[in-house]
Structure 1
Amino acid sequence: MPLNPDMNARLGSSYLGYSYSGNTRDLDYQLKLKANTYEALLDWYPSKDSSFRLTTGLAYNGNKIDVMAQPNAAGVYNINGTAYSSASVGQVNGKVSFNKVAPYLGIGWGRSSEKEKGWSFSTDIGLLFQGSAKTSLSNTGCAATATVCAQFANDLARENEQLRHEVSRFKAYPVLRVGLSYRF
């Protein structure tokens, strides 16, 4: 929506689902990324005759990663130097989440005009600053002795710190957006 000759406001949403494998020093993981955002953006055009723009805004950030630890081929989790049978300590699952409100900065090309009707094309590239990751790992179904289950829980807490360190590089989430619009 044009606000004045050199400024537009936009609302948008995006979704991406992606599964992949990853690991820390001790465990292998199956990871499911769910990137889901809703943005309120403000575009500024430095030149009236150009479609180049600078963009800033805020996003509701629903990005998260579902985590499922994978035992090795022998059915064992090796955590903190100790081997645990997955059959006795159960399944290890977790989540990685980020700040729910995140600022956005980017550049793009494309211009909305109040007078021009028809199709238009736009592109954006930028960064969503989603902050430090919050991680949680837990296990379900521990059938071992209480002592082994307690030791496994302690080692899993240390593994959670390693996982947090591994995902700490995701503070800024890259955004590439391509748009097609029609103005009546």
Structure 2
Amino acid sequence: MKKIQWLAAAGLVGMACGAQAGNVGVGAVAGTLGVGGQVSYAWTERVQTRVMVAGASADVDFDADGGSDLEYSGNVDLLHGALLVDYHPFGGVFRLTGGVMLNDDKIDGSATCEQLACDLGDNEGILVRGDRLDATARYDSVSPYVGIGWGKSPSAEGGLGFSADIGVFYLGDPDVNVELRGASSTNPVVRDAVEEEQDGIREDLDKLPLYPVVMLGVDYRF
């Protein structure tokens, strides 16, 4: 979180400095990174830098492979900061983009055994009523980004403009933690089953190593 706050602050400083030269733009964005804003600064007729911050939150239900009776209910919190460099190879609206994503993405979920006994992985009836699993997953905080897009050329006159970005960034290996609370938490066999559940969630998340980015925006160049 602090890294993204510092990134946003740096972008605002850059906007203030760039406003004197008339090459700064500010705008709003929305898409798979969430909803947020961005500032840009045109360095040359074909190169500009952008600082973007966007986030979103949504409810989610999920389970792990392995035949568990439990379904997790929770939420996904997305918060992204991006430091991007746009290169317009033909001097027009088309651009190539590379940069760094700062991520504070988090997935939380809880599952409670509401029957007399519940299966966990390959273990039948190993949990008892009232046992609860709390799962948390996080990704790498810094990731590389590559993409293409369309937007106002750095050499274009000021005014209103529209933009679009399509790209991906590497999520990295998820850090997954599952904790058991309840009467079965002292059972060593159950603790082993919880570790298997944790591995199952990690394997599910590993199936999506890249995060797709599709963003639309509107901005104003001063």
Task: State the TM-score, normalizing by the size of structure 1.
Answer: 0.87
Q: 1:123 matched to which residue of 2?
A: 164
Distance 1:6-1:113 versus aligned 2 partners, 3 A rule: closer
Percent sequence identity is 24
Matches within 5 A, 1:1-184: 1-24=41-64, 25=66, 26=68, 27-48=70-91, 50-71=92-113, 74=115, 76-79=117-120, 80-83=122-125, 84-87=127-130, 90-113=131-154, 116-140=157-181, 142-144=182-184, 146=186, 149-184=187-222
Distance 1:33 1:170 in 2: 15
1:175 is displaced (CA, Å) by 1.1
1:56 is displaced (CA, Å) by 0.5
Distance 1:69 1:150 in 2: 20
1:9 is displaced (CA, Å) by 0.3
CA contact (8 A) 1:37 1:59 kept: yes
SS of residue matched to 1:78: strand
Distance 1:21-1:144 versus aligned 2 partners, 3 A rule: closer
Distance 1:144 1:6 in 2: 62
1:74 is displaced (CA, Å) by 2.7
SS of residue matched to 1:132: coil
Distance 1:54-1:70 versus aligned 2 partners, 3 A rule: farther
Distance 1:121-1:93 versus aligned 2 partners, 3 A rule: same
SS of residue matched to 1:158: helix
SS of residue matched to 1:157: helix
Which ranges of structure 2 fall in alignment gaps of 5 or more residues?
1-40
SS of residue matched to 2:208: helix
Distance 1:176 1:166 in 2: 23
Distance 1:121-1:129 versus aligned 2 partners, 3 A rule: same
Q: CA RMSD in A?
A: 1.9
1:125 is displaced (CA, Å) by 1.1
CA contact (8 A) 2:185 2:191 kept: no
Distance 1:70 1:164 in 2: 20
CA contact (8 A) 2:184 2:190 kept: no
SS of residue matched to 2:160: strand
Distance 2:195 2:82 in 1: 35
Which ranges of structure 1 fall in alignment gaps of 5 or more residues?
none
1:144 is displaced (CA, Å) by 4.5
